[in-house]
Amino acid sequence: MNDEGDPIQALVRLLTRLPGVGEKSARRIAYHVLGADPDYARALGGAIATMSERVRRCASCGAYTSRVRCAICDDPRRTAEILCVVARPMDADAVERARVFQGRYHILHTLLDPLGGVGPGEFPLEPLLERVAREGVQEVILATPPTVEGEATALYLAECFHAAGVTVTRIASGVPHGGDLEFTDPITLGRAMEGRRSV
């Protein structure tokens, strides 16, 4: 079958470029939208277009926002002294949901990943260093993920900040709340043991 100009196939092709969406799910979504109220399809299309036109990165922290600066950076109750550095916007959302952090965020949008084409030359280090100097940050918390690239990025940043005389901490990694030690994977458990502290 020739699918040139077939609108269903065109949508399916676009959908399969989304993370976690294969050909099958894409078809399911396409048929679902076809079966729903046409207003829904229009609203969906419109919402995607509007989002991509209006949302940009916060000039200060890199979070997605429709304003120049995001709500957290604009909030005078949030302290500028502590800065939590994360890889992705959803990582900041996760820390935010825990409601334990009163400082501000810095979203890198990438990790130091030479295999993925992000070497030290491509890594967005300068804006972060400038921000820390400009805003008088006292402590930088490195909350990059506990993966090879996440750990390397944390170490790289730690070295850069030590040189600049800023206090740097790394979030702990260990056994999840309510987790059973017996069912915790050995790497996580190993880290929890390494990161133990006196009580």
Partner 1 sequence: MTPLRITELSVDGFRNLRDVKLLPSPGGNVLLGDNGHGKTSILEAIDYAASLRSFRGATRTQLIGHEAKAAQVLLRVAGPDPAREYRLRLGRTTREITLDGKRPERAVEYFAGAACVVFHPGDLDLVRGPPELRRRLLDRILVRAVDGYGEALKSYGKALRARNVLLRERHPDTRAIQAFDFPLARYGSALVRARSVLAHDLVPAARRALDEVALSPDAIELRYQPRASGDQVVFTAALAENLSRDLARRSTALGPHADDLAITWSGLPARIVASQGQTRALALALRLAELHVLEARTRAIPVLLLDDVSSELDRERTARLFKLVAALGAQVFVTTTDPAIAALLPGARRFTVTDGAVGPGDG
**Minimal distance, residue 110 CB to partner 1, in Å:** 14
Q: Where are the alpha helices (DSSP H) in the chain?
A: 7-15, 23-35, 38-54, 71-74, 89-98, 125-135, 148-164, 186-194
**Minimal distance, residue 96 CB to partner 1, in Å:** 27
Distance CA 173, CA 196 (A): 10
Interface with partner 1 in residues 119-158 (CB under 8 A): 119-121, 123, 147-149, 151-153, 155-156
Query: Is 160 an interacting residue with respect to partner 1 (CB under 8 A)?
Result: yes
**Minimal distance, residue 181 CB to partner 1, in Å:** 13
Distance CA 72, CA 49 (A): 25
Query: Is 113 an interacting residue with respect to partner 1 (CB under 8 A)?
Result: yes
From 44-52, 59-67, 77-85, 106-114, span contacting partner 1 (CB under 8 A): 106-114
**Minimal distance, residue 142 CB to partner 1, in Å:** 12
